[in-house]
Structure 1
Amino acid sequence: MRPRIVIGAIVIAVCQWMMVAQSVRAATYTDVEALYLTGKIDEAKEAAAAEVERGVWNRRWSELLIKCQLSSGEYAEALETYQAALKRYPTSLPLRTLGIEVARYNGLPDQVATEKAFIHRYLETGQLRYATADTLVAAGRFFSNNGIDARIILKSFYDRVLESDSGNLDAILATAELAIDKGDFKVAAESIAKAKRLEIQDARLETLLAIALGPTDSKAATIALATALELNPNYAPALTLKAEKEIDRELYDQAGKTIEHLLRLNPKDEKAFALKAVIAHVEGDYDREKELRQKALRHYGDNPEVDHLIGRKLSDKYRFKEGAEYQRRSLTFDADYVPATFQLAQDLLRLGDDEIGWQLADEVNRQDPYNVVAYNLMTLKDRTDGFETLAASSARQVSRDFSEPGEILIRMDPHERQVYGTAAAEILNEAKQALCEKYDLQLKRPVIVEIFPKQSDFAIRTFGLPGGEGFLGVCFGHVITANSPASGGDRPSNWKSVLWHEFCHVVTLTKTKNRMPRWLSEGISVYEEVRRDPRWGQSMTARYREMILGDDYTPIAKLSSAFLAPPSAEHLQFAYYESSLVVEFIIDNYGTDALNAILDTLGEGIPINIALAKHTDPMERLEVAFRAFARQRAEGFGPGLAFDRPEFKEGTPQEEIDLWASENPANYWARMRMARNEMSSRNYEAAANHLNYLVDHDAATGERGGVLELLAECRRELHQAGEEKVILERYLNESADALPALRRRMELAAKDDEWGTVFSAGEQALEVQPFAAGIHRELIRAATEVGEPKRAIDSLIALKELDPIDAAGLDYQLAVAFESQGEIEQAKRAVVDALLEAPRYRDALSLLNQLALPKVDRPDHQSNSQASQSNASQSDASEPEEGVAGDAMPEDAEKPDAEKADAVKPDTMPQSNTEEVVGEAKKAEGKSVVEDDADERAENETETEDPK
Structure 2
Amino acid sequence: MNAFRFLVDIRLDDQLHEAVALGDRSQPPHRDCHRKQCVTVTTLCLAVACVLIATLGSPAIASAASYDDAVQQFRNGEYAVAAETAAFEVDRGVWSERWPRLLIQCQMTQGQHAAALQTYQEALKRYPTSIALRYMGLDVLRFNGLQDEVGQAEADLFSQMQRAFAGYITRDNLIAAGRFLTGRGEDAREVLEQFYDRVKERDPDYLDAYLATAELAIRKGDFQVAADTLQQALRLEEETPELHQLLAKALESSDGQAAAEQIAIALRINPHHLPSLQWLAERAIDRERYDEAKDIVNQMLQINLHEPSAWSLLAVIAHLDGEYEVEKLMRAAALSTWEQNPNVDHLIGKKLSEKYRFAEGAEYQNLALSADPLHIAASFQLAQDMLRLGEEEIGWEIADEVAKADPYNVVAYNLMTLRDRTSKFTVLKQDGIQVRMDAKEAKLYGDAVLELLSDAKRVLCEKYDVMPDKPILVEIFPHQNDFAIRTFGLPGGAGYLGVCFGRVITANSPASQGERPSNWKSVLWHEFCHVVTLEKTNNRMPRWLSEGISVYEERQRNPSWGEKMTPQYRSMLLSDDLTPVSDLSAAFLSPPSAIALQFAYYESSLVIEFLIEQHGHDALLAVLDDLAAGIPINDALTRHTGSLQRLDSQFDAYAKERANQFGALADWSRDTLPENGDLATWKGWTRAKPTNYWGLRELAKSAIEGGQWEQALIPLSRMQQLGVLTGERGGPLEWLARAHRELGHGRQEIRAIQDNLAQSSDALPALRRWINIGQSEEQWENVLDASQQALAIQPLLPEFHLASATAAEKLDRHDLAVEALSALLALDPVDPAALHFRLANAYDEQNESFPAKHHALMALELAPRYRDAHRLLWKLHHGVSDEDPATANQAGVEEPDAVRVPAIEEEETL
TM (normalized to structure 1)? 0.85
Q: Which residue matches 1:414?
A: 439
CA shift, 1:125, in A, is 3.6
Q: Which residue matches 1:95?
A: 133
- The equivalent position to 1:606 in structure 2, one of 622, 631, 637, is 631
CA contact (8 A) 1:695 1:707 kept: no
CA shift, 1:656, in A, is 12
Structure 1 range deviating more: 99-108 or 829-838: 829-838
CA contact (8 A) 1:37 1:232 kept: yes
CA contact (8 A) 2:679 2:699 kept: no
Q: Which residue matches 1:302?
A: 340
Q: Which residue matches 2:255?
A: 217
Determine the C-alpha separation between the residues in 2 that align with 1:444 and 1:318.
18
Q: 1:78 to 1:756 in 2, by over 3 A?
A: same
Q: 1:26 to 1:731 in 2, by over 3 A?
A: closer
- Aligned pairs for 1:379-778 (under 5 A) are 379-393=417-431, 407-646=432-671, 658=682, 663-778=688-803
Q: Which residue matches 1:122?
A: 160
CA shift, 1:482, in A, is 0.4
Determine the C-alpha separation between the residues in 2 that align with 1:561 and 1:442.
30
CA shift, 1:646, in A, is 4.0
Q: Which residue matches 2:859?
A: 834
Which string of whole-angstrom CA distances, capped at 9 and with x for unpartnered residues, describes residues 51-106 of structure 1?
Answer: 11111111111101100000000000000000111011001000000000100100
Q: Which residue matches 1:337?
A: 375
CA shift, 1:846, in A, is 3.8
- Aligned pairs for 1:116-195 (under 5 A) are 116-125=154-163, 127=165, 130-195=168-233
CA contact (8 A) 1:790 1:820 kept: no
CA shift, 1:144, in A, is 0.7
CA shift, 1:647, in A, is 9.4
Secondary structure (helix, strand or coil) at the match of 1:733 reads helix
CA shift, 1:779, in A, is 1.7
Percent identity among equivalent residues? 51
Determine the C-alpha separation between the residues in 1 that align with 2:209 and 2:876.
78
CA shift, 1:662, in A, is 6.0
Secondary structure (helix, strand or coil) at the match of 1:640 reads coil
- Amino acid corresponding to residue 525 of structure 1 in structure 2: S
Determine the C-alpha separation between the residues in 2 that align with 1:784 and 1:604.
54
Q: Which residue matches 2:10?
A: none
Structure 1 range deviating more: 658-667 or 634-643: 658-667
Q: Which residue matches 2:46?
A: none
CA shift, 1:816, in A, is 1.5
CA contact (8 A) 1:392 1:428 kept: no
Secondary structure (helix, strand or coil) at the match of 2:759 reads coil
- Amino acid corresponding to residue 406 of structure 2 in structure 1: D
Determine the C-alpha separation between the residues in 2 that align with 1:29 and 1:835.
91
CA contact (8 A) 1:662 1:670 kept: no
Determine the C-alpha separation between the residues in 2 that align with 1:695 and 1:792.
38
Determine the C-alpha separation between the residues in 2 that align with 1:255 and 1:580.
27
Q: 1:656 to 1:338 in 2, by over 3 A?
A: farther
Q: Which residue matches 1:368?
A: 406
Q: 1:445 to 1:741 in 2, by over 3 A?
A: same
**Does residue 50 of the first structure (1) align with residue 88 of the second (2)?**
yes
CA shift, 1:618, in A, is 1.4
Determine the C-alpha separation between the residues in 2 that align with 1:632 and 1:344.
47
- The equivalent position to 2:837 in structure 1, one of 801, 809, 812, is 812
Q: Which residue matches 2:27?
A: none
CA shift, 1:164, in A, is 1.4
CA shift, 1:488, in A, is 1.4
Q: Which residue matches 2:321?
A: 283
CA contact (8 A) 1:661 1:673 kept: no
Q: Which residue matches 1:19?
A: none
Determine the C-alpha separation between the residues in 2 that align with 1:781 and 1:230.
68
Q: Which residue matches 2:907?
A: none
Determine the C-alpha separation between the residues in 2 that align with 1:328 and 1:239.
27
TM (normalized to structure 2)? 0.89
CA shift, 1:791, in A, is 2.6
Determine the C-alpha separation between the residues in 2 that align with 1:27 and 1:187.
33
Secondary structure (helix, strand or coil) at the match of 2:434 reads strand
- Aligned pairs for 1:791-802 (under 5 A) are 791-802=816-827
CA contact (8 A) 1:128 1:136 kept: no
Q: 1:117 to 1:653 in 2, by over 3 A?
A: farther
Determine the C-alpha separation between the residues in 1 that align with 2:538 and 2:705.
54
CA contact (8 A) 2:131 2:161 kept: no
Determine the C-alpha separation between the residues in 2 that align with 1:906 and 1:195.
85
CA contact (8 A) 1:435 1:507 kept: yes
Determine the C-alpha separation between the residues in 2 that align with 1:908 and 1:490.
46
Secondary structure (helix, strand or coil) at the match of 1:559 reads helix
Output the aligned Cα RMSD: 2.2
CA shift, 1:802, in A, is 1.4
Q: 1:754 to 1:140 in 2, by over 3 A?
A: same
Determine the C-alpha separation between the residues in 1 that align with 2:506 and 2:365.
23
**Does residue 326 of the first structure (1) align with residue 361 of the second (2)?**
no
Q: Which runs of 5+ in 1 are unaligned?
A: 1-23, 394-406, 863-903, 911-948
Determine the C-alpha separation between the residues in 2 that align with 1:838 and 1:109.
80
Q: 1:562 to 1:390 in 2, by over 3 A?
A: same
Q: 1:627 to 1:839 in 2, by over 3 A?
A: same
Q: Which residue matches 1:400?
A: none
Q: Which residue matches 1:104?
A: 142
- Aligned pairs for 1:873-912 (under 5 A) are 907-908=900-901
CA shift, 1:695, in A, is 1.2
Secondary structure (helix, strand or coil) at the match of 1:301 reads coil
- Aligned pairs for 1:257-296 (under 5 A) are 257-296=295-334
Which string of whole-angstrom CA distances, capped at 9 and with x for unpartnered residues, describes residues 490-517 of structure 1?
Answer: 1111000000000000000000000000
Determine the C-alpha separation between the residues in 2 that align with 1:170 and 1:824.
78
Q: 1:639 to 1:110 in 2, by over 3 A?
A: same
Determine the C-alpha separation between the residues in 2 that align with 1:219 and 1:835.
63
Q: Which runs of 5+ in 2 are unaligned?
A: 1-61, 886-896, 904-910
- Amino acid corresponding to residue 347 of structure 1 in structure 2: D
- Amino acid corresponding to residue 336 of structure 1 in structure 2: L
Determine the C-alpha separation between the residues in 1 that align with 2:832 and 2:161.
69
CA contact (8 A) 1:711 1:727 kept: yes
Q: Which residue matches 1:944?
A: none
CA shift, 1:556, in A, is 0.5
Determine the C-alpha separation between the residues in 1 that align with 2:884 and 2:102.
92
Secondary structure (helix, strand or coil) at the match of 1:771 reads coil
Determine the C-alpha separation between the residues in 1 that align with 2:898 and 2:269.
90
Determine the C-alpha separation between the residues in 2 that align with 1:132 and 1:610.
58
Q: Which residue matches 1:242?
A: 280
Determine the C-alpha separation between the residues in 1 that align with 2:198 and 2:502.
47
**Between Structure 1 and Structure 2, how many residues are aligned?**
831
